[in-house]
Amino acid sequence: MEAERAGSDPALTLGRRLEDCYRHIHATAMADVPICNPALGVAATGFRAYGGRVFGIVTTPWFMNLVALHLPDAPPAAPAAIGTTVRIGLPAGEVDFIAGELDTIGRIASCSLFSPVFEFATMETALETAEEAIRAFFDPSALEPPPAPPAPLNRRDLLRGKFRKHEEAMPE
């Protein structure tokens, strides 16, 4: 079912291509590198289109990154020099990415969430974290300011009986 959806959804297709690319990197350049967590594999999580780009989380044995790639049919943004910071607006706010390039993928922007990833004992735990992270980046309520704390009482207010009024206004 996932493969059928990936064929019609460019975001899922790019996510699967990234998985393939990083599996190859893991099997070649990262094989036996000590920063790799042997409990983890490679996975693409939560890939979706937003603002002419595809966003998702890539988990590997050596990092977990939020990544951004341009949609194939979207007008490309001005290319950033590799290694420079690119600020991209998401529903939860502005996020800084590092511009890069992968041989089989092309331009990619990455925001490191975890590196290395030894805090994850299982792939299941890493994927749960990735799912929560992608939800958080695309949750506009994250931009809402927290409610203001109640005004502090001073002795003068207490003596004037304002404490009772303040207490009655407090929700239970």
Q: Is residue 130 part of a domain?
A: yes
Does the CA dihedral 108-111-115-121 come out positive or negative?
Answer: negative
Q: What is the mean pLDDT of residues 20-39?
A: 96
Q: Is residue 134 part of a domain?
A: yes
8-12, 33-37, 133-137, 142-146: range with lowest mean pLDDT: 142-146
Residue 170 maps to a domain? no
Cα–Cα dist 107/20, whole Å: 16
Whether residue 12 lies inside any domain: the answer is yes
The average pLDDT across 118-132 equals: 98
What per-residue confidence (pLDDT) applies to 5? 46
Identity (one letter) of the amino acid at 33? V
Expressed as residue numbers, the domain containing 115 is: 2-143
Would 82 be classed as within a structural domain? yes
CB 24 within 8 A of CB 59: no
pLDDT of the residue at 77: 73
- Quick one: pLDDT at residue 4? 43
CATH code for the domain of 88: 3.30.1460.40
Distance CA 44, CA 56 (A): 7
By percentage, how much of the chain surpasses pLDDT 90?
A: 69
Query: How many domains in the chain?
Result: 1
Predicted pLDDT at 168: 53
pLDDT tens figures, 46-74: 999 999 999 999 999 999 999 999 998 88
pLDDT at position 146 is 60
Q: Has residue 83 been placed in a domain?
A: yes
The answer, yes or no, to whether residue 142 has pLDDT greater than 70, is: no
Return the H-helix or E-strand segment holding 52: none
**pLDDT > 70 in the chain, percent:** 78
139 part of a folded domain: yes
> Mean pLDDT, to the nearest integer, of 118-136?
97
Residues paired with residue 106 on neighbouring β-strands, in sequence order:
102
Measured distance CA(108)–CA(112) in Å, rounded: 13
Whether residue 95 is contained in a domain is answered as yes
- pLDDT at residue 171 is higher than 60: no
Q: How confident is the model at residue 138 (pLDDT cuts 50, 70, 90)?
A: very high
Question: For the residues 99-126, what does the mean pLDDT come to?
Answer: 96
Q: Is the pLDDT of residue 150 over 80?
A: no
Return the pLDDT at 157. 65
